[in-house]
Structures are given as C-alpha cells and as structure tokens.
Structure 1
C-alpha cells in the first residue's frame, strides 16, 4: 500500500468527520443545550 493512498484515506475520513460534527451541531434538538452553554461565561453566582 502506497503512502499516498493512506494520506488520501485519512483526508477523506477527516472531512467526513468534520461534516458529521457540523450536522450534529446544527441539529435543532441540540440548540437548547448550546443556548445554555453560550451564556455560561456571563452567569454570575
């Protein structure tokens, strides 16, 4: 197996993982959790 084939494989795998994370982050059912998390730095106890 050539090293270039491994590089292509890992590049494609990284891209697919990136797209999967984007889809997960933009789903509607996760939006409530992210809205709570975006205000965490401003919460004063």
Structure 2
C-alpha cells in the first residue's frame, strides 16, 4: 500500500466519522438535551444552586 492509498483510506474513514457525528447531533433523540444546553446562557443561576 503506497502513501496515496493510505491517505485516501484515512480521508474516507474521517469522512465517515464526521457524517456519523453529524447524524448523531441532528437525531431527534438528542433534541431535548440540545434545547436544554441552548437555554443555559439565558438562565440566571444553575439549577443546583436554586433553593
């Protein structure tokens, strides 16, 4: 296997990992977690400190 083939294989693997991460981030199961994270900067205090 020469350097060109190795470089192409590494690119394909990294592209597959990127696409898998993109699908994971945009899946419907993650929506509640990401919505909660998006509201964090707007909250006055973290929920643990409220009493």
Give TM-score scaled by structure 1 length: 0.87
Between Structure 1 and Structure 2, which shows a larger proportion of helix residues? 1
Which ranges in structure 2 are unaligned for 5 or more consecutive residues? Answer: 46-51
**4+ residue segments displaced more than 4 Å:** none
RMSD of equivalent CA atoms: 0.8
Q: Which has the higher contact order (CA 8 A, sep 6+)?
A: 1
In structure 1, the gaps of 5 or more residues are: none
Number of matched pairs: 45
Give the TM-score normalised by the residue count of structure 2: 0.79
